[in-house]
Chain A
Amino acid sequence: MSDTPVTPSAASPVVERPTTNYGLDHLRTLESESIHIIREVAAEFERPCLLFSGGKDSVVMLHLAVKAFAPARPPFPVMHVDTGHNFPEVIEFRDECVDRLGVRLVIASVQDDIDAGRVAEQTGPRASRNQLQTTTLLRGIEEQRYDAVFGGARRDEEKARAKERVYSFRDEFGQWDPKNQRPEVWSLYNGRHHQGEHIRVFPLSNWTELDIWSYIEAEDIVLPSIYFAHEREVFSRDGMWLAVTPAVTVMDGEIPQVRTVRYRTVGDASCTGAVDSIAATVEAVIAEVAASRVTERGATRADDRASEAAMEDRKRVGYF
């Protein structure tokens, strides 16, 4: 502007610009941004926690949290919202992971809410505990008095998420109000809130599915085995391969068969589909993701298919 002429400030004598090319590649830039966010939260909130499902995004997020505070441990616990409808490989991985990293695991169980009558379990062959998780998540946050909750959501996943801030303010009911979000400028995050309110924090906001996999490869991050091609008994429903597990009822006309599949996302076993794949290594998965023509949620999540605004509606009432 005209009233701010270019004058180096008195304290800044002219120094020659270094001639080497100081640049970070995109993965290191994303990593640095995420670490910055995680450290801001640890510094400014009293009781943060990190949501950890054992899914690849939460594994990457936890890996970043460990890197952010090395050689100390992350100064917050992790919480798993447990639907009880898990893939056993993932639960085993979860326990091994928190042991190895020395973080404390808090489990908020959907079964507890069902038993206490706070939610009613859906019935019928298409019953899913996906919707019920919101109650359990919010109860966990309230009981533990968490004021900041890290989530692994990415903006490229879904269009409601594309419009959410890194610091997502939640009122005392855990609600997200998309049209009343705090402006988020530069890297100046505003985490101020009143008692009972909290902030959901998404350090992976700017990562894409391909970034996540490229980073998993670069950092040699261990994932649950179900992300890689394996044989599994599945049946076709709504154009997805659902696993035959105690969490689902196979209906008439649905024919179980053994196929070579892998999972692109890991959620509740009752609504997360597998895809046909022979990608058995991270490298092979990256090649597959790079060539994929369907989004990961579109390919594998029945919960998003309920309506065009399924994610948005769930987010508004407090979902991840």
Chain B
Amino acid sequence: MAAYSDSSEMIRIATAGSVDDGKSTLIGRLLYDTKSIFEDQMDAVEATSIQMGAEHTNLALLTDGLRAEREQGITIDVAYRYFATPKRKFIIADTPGHIQYTRNMVTGASTADLAIVLIDARKGVLEQSRRHAFLSSLLRIPHLVLAVNKMDLVDYDESVFEDIKSEFRDFARKLDVADLTFIPVSALHGDNVVNRSENMEWYGGSSLLHHLEQVHVASDRNLIDARFAVQYVIRPQATEHHDFRGYAGRVSGGVFKPGDEVVVLPSGFSSKIASIQTADGPVDEAYPPMSVSITLDDEIDISRGDMLCRPHNQPRVTQDIEAMVCWLSEASSLQTGAKLAIKHTTRWARAMVKDLQYRLDVNTLHREEGATTLSLNEIGRVTLRTTLPLFVDEYRRNRETGSFILVDEATNATVAAGMVLSP
């Protein structure tokens, strides 16, 4: 494992793919070639490969294999892998794509900076590739990489790669993808995974790892709309800090500085930031994703679930929410008229499903109007009415203040993930 440099960034990656497209092999290759696999892990993989009668050490086994999965023939929805180079620390949320793809991908990719969608060069752009790309754009993952894999099996032919590229670009025009990159690879042989391939001189771009190390993610955060949801009020009992009242939370957007005028929602009271505190002392500014506590000039009644923002840039305060929701529960389905618990930032409320406007076919992007329910893996546009006002931004503008979950009040299960749209 490589040691870090002093200021290495962290980047979250989501991968999606099916059993056959070589995703596990690709991840295994990234881990192996960056020396992130340990000998005891490799020994276990080799032993299992031999036991299964495989010809080569199966790198895919590095990412598979709970007993529950083997015995019941299921795949746990998301597994996390970690590796690092001197430039960056990587978190990979690895989601199987063949079953329950929507639920899996939403679970693994909601916070991703970058998604890798794999395409088998022999098969071209399949329905599943489109689905994964669509979900990446729905979740607003800022960077999308199309890894065209198994180039070795098409003789490293440039025209195969170019055809896939243009076909995919046509489709991607219908989506909202800010940054799309195509990389021809062979995960099995390592071409263009860590090092540039000698078999594809025609390819002028970066290797996959080089791209992952270079892609600019710091500017993906919203630094314009100042949003701070209060998580917890810190009031020390000790006499030395008797008057301290800090509003603890994590910045969801914008930049806060001492002296800034702020408005508290829902009360609408305003005050000025007296200081921004951390355990290491006060700081000059706070921006996403910093966890801090804010003290104000005035004593105002503020509690968990309230939000601090700037007077001239406020989220929408509303009990009527338009949203795309992904239904994640096997046991139940979304019905109009249903009442559910809703969690948005640090605020819980109850929500009633007023209307299901349409269900979206994730393969064709066709809107099925007249649909009355959403079941597992289905996505639709809904109107909700909540018991308390929520302070929302459009999801496309802020992934934190634009997202929510719905929870079944009887079972406590998380049944849906929602993304706020403009009214």
Contact = CB atoms under 8 A, between A and B. Distances in A.
Do A and B form a real pair? yes
Interface of A: 1-4, 6-9, 11-13, 15, 17-18, 21-26, 28-33, 35-36, 39-40, 42-43, 66-73, 155-156, 159-160, 162-163, 178-179, 181-188, 190, 192-194, 205-206, 208, 210-211, 214, 286-287, 289-290, 292-295, 298-299, 308-309, 312-313
5 contacts: A30-B10, A32-B291, A39-B249, A71-B234, A186-B399
B239 to A, nearest CB: 12
Contact of A68 (B7, B72, B175, B291): B291
Contacts of A12: 224-225, 313, 393, 397
B189 interface: no
B412 interface: yes
Interface in B125-180: 137-138, 174-176
B412 A9 contact: no
A32 B343 contact: no
Interface string B73-94: 0101111111010001101000
Given A1-B324, A11-B313, A39-B232, A182 B38 contact: no
Question: Which of B66, B236, B393, B421 lies at the interface centre, i.e. has the most chain A CB atoms within 10 A of its CB?
Answer: B66
Given A26-B8, A71-B241, A190-B412, A39 B248 contact: yes
A298 B41 CA distance: 8
A43 B343 CA distance: 14
Interface string B22-50: 00000000000000001111001000100
A72 B278 contact: no
Nearest to A189: B343
A4 B396 contact: yes
Contacts of A211: 89
A64 B79 CA distance: 25
A4 B236 CA distance: 45
B279 A186 contact: no
Given A8-B397, A12-B313, A25-B7, A190 B343 contact: yes
A192 B407 contact: yes
Contacts of B44: 308
Of all A-B residue pairs in the complex, the 3 with the closest CB atoms, nearest first, are A298-B40, A67-B279, A70-B279
A216 to B, nearest CB: 13
Interface in B290-343: 290-291, 304, 312-316, 324, 328, 341, 343
B214 to A, nearest CB: 15
A261 to B, nearest CB: 19
Interface stretch (B102-110, B115-123, B205-213, B267-275): B102-110
B255 A22 contact: yes
Given A185-B106, A293-B39, A192 B412 contact: yes
A26 B316 CA distance: 32
B287 to A, nearest CB: 4
Interface residues of B, number: 100
Nearest to B39: A293
B181 interface: no
B196 interface: no
Interface string B385-422: 00000000110110110011101000011100100011
Contacts of B55: none
Interface in B216-230: 218-219, 221, 223-225
B84 to A, nearest CB: 7
Given A1-B137, A22-B287, A162-B80, A286 B224 contact: no
A1 B225 CA distance: 22
Nearest to B8: A26
Given A6-B396, A71-B236, A183-B106, A162 B79 contact: yes
Given A3-B381, A190-B407, A290-B1, A309 B66 contact: yes
Interface in B324-365: 324, 328, 341, 343-344, 346
B421 A185 contact: no
B9 interface: yes
B6 interface: yes
Contact of B38 (A40, A193, A286, A298): A298
A13 to B, nearest CB: 7
Contacts, number: 231
Contacts of B175: 1
B400 A26 contact: no
Interface string B368-390: 00000000000001000000000
B111 interface: yes
B68 interface: yes
Given A8-B397, A190-B414, A185 B107 contact: yes
Given A11-B314, A210-B1, A193 B405 contact: no
Given A21-B218, A26-B89, A295-B38, A9 B316 contact: yes
Contacts of B74: 179
B388 to A, nearest CB: 16
Given A178-B76, A185-B403, A290-B3, A29 B289 contact: yes
A73 B279 CA distance: 11
B405 A188 contact: yes
A59 to B, nearest CB: 16
A309 B67 contact: yes
B98 interface: no
A193 B224 contact: no
Contacts of B106: 183, 185
Given A159-B65, A162-B81, 15 more contacts: A4-B176, A12-B313, A22-B223, A22-B287, A23-B9, A30-B10, A32-B291, A40-B346, A73-B236, A183-B106, A183-B328, A183-B414, A185-B110, A206-B80, A309-B66
Contacts of B396: 4, 6
Contacts of A290: 1-3
Contacts of A309: 66-67
Nearest to B402: A186
